[in-house]
Structure 1
Amino acid sequence: MSEKPSGKPEGHEGSGESIPDDVWERFVQDSERDIRTSEAPKEPSARARMVTERLRRQEARGELPQGWRTDSAGQGAYGRGARRRKVWTIIGIPLALAVAVVAMKPSLLPGDPFGTDSGVNPGPQAASPLPAETAPETAAPGSAPGTPTLDEPFAGSPAARYADGAAGIVLPRAKAVGSFSKDQVGRALEQSRTLLVEANIDRGTLLGATPETVFGTVLDPKQPDLVADLRSWLRDPGEDDDPLRFFSRFDRDEVRLVGNVVKTRGRTTFEAGEDGALDIHTDYTFVYALAPADPDSTEVARTIVRRVIDLQVPDPAKYDVTPGRLAVVNYDNDISNSACDVYDGFLHPRLSSAEPTGAPPSGPTTDPYDRSRDIGGDSGDEPCGTVSRT
C-alpha cells in the first residue's frame, strides 16, 4: 500500500530542525477544514456557462443595452450596507460612551433601576405623602431631614408629607343619619369643609381679610351670639376677644407667606346627636411657612395651628334653625411657634432675625406635630409653652 505524501517540510533552511509530526498533522487538518468551509469560488455549472455564452453573443450583436454589466441591485445593496455601517458607526460611538458613563454612575438613569440609591439624606421632594388620616393617631411622627428654605419651606418638618391645603380635608362618605338623608349629611359635611378652608387656608383670611363666606353661607345667623362675637373680634381684637381662637391671620407688615401652600392634616367624623341632631367633629392641623416681610430676607419660620371644632345641624322639626347652615357647639385650638400674650388679632411667628415679641414661653414643651395628644377641655387656658420642633 502506498502512503499519502504528507508534504511536510523538513525544517527551516539552515536550521537543522524539523516540525514535529503531531504539530504538522494538526496544521494539515485545520487547513483542510478551513478550505471546506470557506467561500472559495466554485467552477460554474454547465447551465451557467451556457447563459454566459448566450449573453456574450447578444452583446456582440448589440442586442443588450449599454452598461448591462453594471449590477445596479448589487450597487444598491452595497450602498445600503455602507449606509448601515455608517449609521451604526454614528450611533454606536455615542451609545458606547453613554453606556460607559452609566456604568460609572448608574444613578443618572431615572427611577434607579439598579437599586443604587442608598436612601441616605433624601431631599424633601423624596418624602412620600401620608395617606389620609382615618383614625386618631397613636404617636408623634418621627424626625424629618432637611432645613427649610424659600424653595422648600417645609423641609425638616413632618408637614412635608402633609397634603396641600384643602386636599388635606378628606370628608367621610355620607350616609343617612336620623332624620337627615344621605344628601343632607353630604351637604353638611361640605359646609364643614368650607368653614375650615375659609378660616384657615384662604389667602385673603391669612392676610387679614374678613372671611365673609363663613358668615354669609356657613354659620347659622340664628346662632346670633357666636356670629356677632366673631365679627366683633375681627374688628376689635383683645385678650378676651381674640379672633385667633377661630381664624388664622398674619400681619402682612411683619411677615409674608412663603409659597402658596398651607400644609393640612386631620380628619372629619359625624354621628347622630341628641334630639335628632347631626353632629360633626373636625380635628385638623394647619402648618404655615412664613418669612420676614423684607423681600431680601431668606429666613423661613413655621407656625403650627391645630383646631378641634364640634359642629351641629339641629333637627329643623324641633329647633328654629336656618336650613343648610351649621351651628358651632365647641372649639379648641393649639397654636405653636407664635408670640405669647399678644392680642392684636394676628399670629406672630418667632423669627431669629427679629426681636422677640410678647412674653417668653412659660408652659411645658410640646410637639406640635403630635396629633395623638388631646387639646380639648381646658387646654386653651394653659400657659404659652415652647415647642420641641417646628
Structure 2
Amino acid sequence: MGDPREPPEGAPDGGSGNEDEYRSVVFDESFVRAARIQELSARERLGGHYPRAVRTRIGLGPLGSLPRQAVALLLLVAMAFAAAVYFGVSSPRRLVAAPSGDQLTVSLTALSPSSPVRPVADYRNPFAALPTGYGDGSAGFGEPVPAATAHFTRIEVMRALDVAERYLTLADLTPAVLTEGDTAQVRAVLTPGEQAQYDDSMNSPRDDEHHAATGWQVRFDPGQVALATDTVKVTGTMAFAEADSGTLEVTTDHTFVYALRPAGTERPLQVSLYSVRRALRMEFDRTDLSAGRLRLVDAATQAGPTSCAARQADHFQPVLTGLPPAPPAVDPADHTVPAWQLCATLR
C-alpha cells in the first residue's frame, strides 16, 4: 500500500508532497508583524471603505508590532501623565508657600483713661464692680460645642478647641507668664514654623506689627507691676470654621480683667483693675492637630488704662493710679515713630 500521507493519484511530479521542503519559505509571526503592508480583513473588504486590498502600516518602530488596542492604551496613559504634570505645575495652590516665619500680625491699641484712675473700693473683692457675665479664668472662655465640619471630624474640632483653650490659659492667665517673664510654656504650644518669630519677639520686641511680645501673650514688667490676686476675670467667645479643606480655624474674642498693684508694696489701697481685650485667629492643619500645636495668625489687642505715650511691644504698661501724662505731640514727618500705633479713650 502506498503512504497514507500521499494523495490518491500519487505525489506530483518534481516533489515528494512533504511539507518539510517548504519550511524555508514559511513566514513566522515576527516577520508578519514587521511587514510594512497589511492585508485587509474579510469584514473590511466587504465594507467597501478601502480602495485597495492592503493598507500601509504606520511607522511606530517597536510599537508597530503591538495590537491597536495596546497602542491606544499607551497613548491614553501618556496623555493622562502629561495632564497630571501640567496641572501639578500650573495649579494655583503651588504658588502658596507653606506657612513659616513671620506669620503673626499684631495690632496694639492703647486705651487712655479720660478721668483719674482710682483704686478698687474693696481690695479683698477687687472685681465687685464688674458687670455680670465674667467668669473666673477659663470658665469665661465660652468654648462652643464641637461638631464635625465638611473635612474635619468632631474629634479633630474638639482637639483644636482644647489646644486653643490651653494656649489662652497659658498666655493670658498663668502668673508665671504674666509677671515672671516665662516664655517656654507659650512657645511649646506654637507650631515650629512660628517659634523663630516668637523667640525674636521675646528677645527683641518692637512695634513693627510682627514682633511685639504683647501680641503673643499678656505680660507686665515685674519691676513695675504685681498681681494683687491670681484670679483673672474673663468674658468672651470662641468659634471654629474651615479656612479650607486642610485647615481648621479657631477665632477667639475675650476681655481679660486683672487686679494689679505697684510692685514692691503690699498696701491694699493701691489695687486697681486693668483690662485687655484680645481678638485672635488661630489655624490648625492635621499635623498641628496631631502634635497639639497651633499657628497664631492675627492678634488684635486693646489694653487700658494705658498712656498713649507708652510703648507696649515689650510689656503692657498700666496706669495704676492718677492720670497718665499727656501724650506727646506727633510729628507726621518723624519716621522713627511707628505709624500704626493707635490710642483711644477708655470707657
After TM superposition, the score normalised by the length of structure 2 is 0.56
Alignment-derived partner of residue 33 in structure 2: none
Is 1:234 paired with 2:206?
Answer: no
Picking from 200, 215, 219, the partner of 2:172 is 200
| Displacement after TM superposition at 1:227 (Å) | 2.2
For 2:342, what is the secondary structure of its paired residue? Answer: coil
- The alpha carbon displacement at 1:272 in A equals 2.2
**How many angstroms apart in 1 are the aligned matches of 2:144 and 2:313?**
36
- Paired residue secondary structure (1:295): coil
Report Cα offsets for 1:341-370 as digits up to 9, x if no partner.
Answer: 3246221211226x84684699xxxxxxxx
Whole-angstrom distance in 2 between the partners of 1:250 and 1:147: 19
1:219–1:322 distance in 2 versus 1, CA, 3 Å: farther
Change beyond 3 A, Cα 1:236–1:358: farther
Aligned pairs for 1:119-134 (under 5 A) are: none
Q: Pick from 296, 302, 316: which aligns with 1:347?
A: 316
Aligned 1:145-224 pairs, distance under 5 A: 147-158=120-131, 161-216=133-188, 218-221=189-192, 223=193
Amino acid aligned to 1:210: D
Distance 1:382 1:157, change over 3 A: farther
Deviation per CA, 1:53-82: give whole Å up to 9, x if none.
Answer: xxxxxxxxxxxxxxxxxxxxxxxxxxxxxx
Question: 5+ unaligned residues in a row in structure 2: which ranges?
Answer: 1-118, 331-338
**Partner of 1:255 in structure 2?**
225
What corresponds to 2:299 in structure 1? 331
Q: Which residue of 2 aligns with 1:49?
A: none
Report the Cα offset of residue 291 of structure 1.
Answer: 1.2
SS at 2:145 equivalent: coil
Deviations 1:284-322 (A, max 9, x none): 111111112222351122211111111112255xxx996
Q: Given residue 171 of structure 2, which amino acid in structure 1 is its aligned partner?
A: A
Partner of 2:344: 385
Q: 1:254 to 1:147 in 2, by over 3 A?
A: closer
Q: Which residue of 1 aligns with 2:333?
A: none
Corresponding residue of 2:285 = 314
Q: Structure 1 stretch 341-350 or stretch 166-175: which is displaced more?
A: 341-350
Instruction: Give the aligned residue type for 2:294.
Output: L
Question: Which whole-Å CA distance do the structure 1 matches of 2:283 and 2:175 have between them?
Answer: 27
Provide the rounded CA distance (Å) in 1 between the counterparts of 2:163 and 2:246: 19
Q: How big is the shift at 1:154?
A: 1.7
Shift in Å at residue 163 of structure 1? 0.3
State the number of aligned residues: 217
1:148-207 Cα distance to aligned partner (Å, 9 max, x none): 33112123333x651011111232111222332211211111000011111110010011
Q: CA separation in 2, counterparts of 1:246 and 1:220?
A: 13
Equivalent pair of 2:133/2:235 in contact (CA under 8 Å):
no
Q: 1:306 is aligned with what amino acid?
A: R
Q: Which position in structure 1 is the counterpart of 2:246? A: 276
TM-superposed CA distance for 1:282, in Å, is 0.9
RMSD: 2.8
Code of the aligned partner of 2:270: E
| Alignment partners' CA distance in 1, 2:225 and 2:277 | 20
SS of structure 2 residue aligned to 1:248: coil
Q: Offset at 1:276? A: 3.3
Q: Distance in 1 between matches of 2:299 and 2:240?
A: 16
Which SS does the other structure have where 1:308 is aligned?
Answer: strand
More strand by share: 2
Q: Which has the larger radius of gyration?
A: 1
Distance 1:321 1:359, change over 3 A: same
Question: Aligned with 1:187: secondary structure?
Answer: helix
Per the TM alignment, residue 283 of structure 1 is displaced from its structure 2 partner at its CA by 0.9
